[in-house]
Structure 1
Amino acid sequence: MTLEILKTKEDLRNLIDDYAYLGDEKKITEQLDLFTPDVTYKVFMNGALVADVSGRENMESDFNLHSSQVKTYFTLNGQHTTKIDGETATGVSFSQIKMIREADGKDVLTDYSVKYEDQYVFQNGKWRIKERIGYFVIIESRTIS
């Protein structure tokens, strides 16, 4: 493995970690800079397609709407495997995402176990996410005190 490949793998890992950090901090505009302008983003929950968004502007609307309904996000990234081919790459990563929303005056914690399948491109000196598919495999909600 060359130093260039190792550097690219590190850059791609930082990209998915930055996505999580910025999302947890609700820095949507900065988070969207991690995507190509023509990004596609799909979400499957329990096998059903629940979101299919194209383009950064549409994502911004969706992300802002979602963020306005969540009091707190907490993301923990796990494995991240990549295959690099010049200025394009693919990746699979796993995350645990916790979200606290209010329902009927009570805080509800929803715990998500997520597998992401990504396509990346190197543009203007930076790696960006061109396509992201999120598979929300396990979803658990409970009221917390």
Structure 2
Amino acid sequence: MTRHTEITPTEAADRLAIRELVEAYAYCADRRDAAGQMALFTADTHFVVFMDAKDPTPSQELHSRAALAPVFDALNQYDATMHFVGQSTITALSADRAEGVAYTLAHHLTVKDGQRKLMIATLRYGDSFAKTDGAWLFSERKLYVDWIEERTL
């Protein structure tokens, strides 16, 4: 962890903007705003999913903002979701690039024949960010699923 005795207003603004970007991703997911969620990524983004965080081989790998549409559209299979963003740490920051890690508890509710089921995924994201035209965007997002819990409610 970096020790900050003093940071510039620009660095503070960048750190806040990146945190808001991470939170906007969850907000858009829960509102099924796929277009808004896709807009948080660079056009040439790299999105990688590891359904088993211990397996170094990705389950899915996408190479553009446009390729994200079916991933975000898949959330429509749930009656409701709630993505709770826990800690979000910026591990490196320059004027136009940054790296970070974010932790999320993703709650997915389904209701079928009056039966409610909840799937909770514990997620970690390894993020790379790029500042483009003054706005921070995801340039790479690696999603690691640490474990999944399923419950009948």
Same fold by TM (over 0.5)?
A: yes
- State the TM-score, normalized to the length of structure 1: 0.91
Unaligned runs of 5+ in 2: 1-6
Letter of the structure 1 residue corresponding to residue 83 of structure 2: T
Letter of the structure 1 residue corresponding to residue 71 of structure 2: D
> Mapping of 1:39-78 within 5 angstroms?
39-46=45-52, 47-48=54-55, 49-64=58-73, 66-78=74-86
Letter of the structure 2 residue corresponding to residue 35 of structure 1: F
Identity %: 27
SS at match of 1:11: helix
Which protein has the bigger strand share?
Answer: 1
Cα displacement string for residues 88-141 of structure 1 (whole angstroms, at most 9, x for unaligned residues): 101111111101134676332111111110000001121000100011102101
In 1, the alpha carbon distance for the partners of 2:76 and 2:106 equals: 17
Q: Indicate which of 109, 132, 135 corresponds to 2:141.
A: 132
* Cα offset, 1:142, TM superposition: 1.5
Letter of the structure 1 residue corresponding to residue 35 of structure 2: T
SS at match of 1:92: strand
Q: Indicate which of 6, 17, 20 corresponds to 2:12.
A: 6
Unaligned runs of 5+ in 1: none
Q: Aligned residues, how many? A: 143
In 2, the alpha carbon distance for the partners of 1:131 and 1:88 equals: 11
CA-atom RMSD in angstroms: 1.5
* Cα offset, 1:75, TM superposition: 1.0
- State the TM-score, normalized to the length of structure 2: 0.87
Report if aligned partners of 2:124, 2:143 keep a CA contact under 8 Å in 1: yes
- Which range moved further: 43-52 or 118-127? 43-52
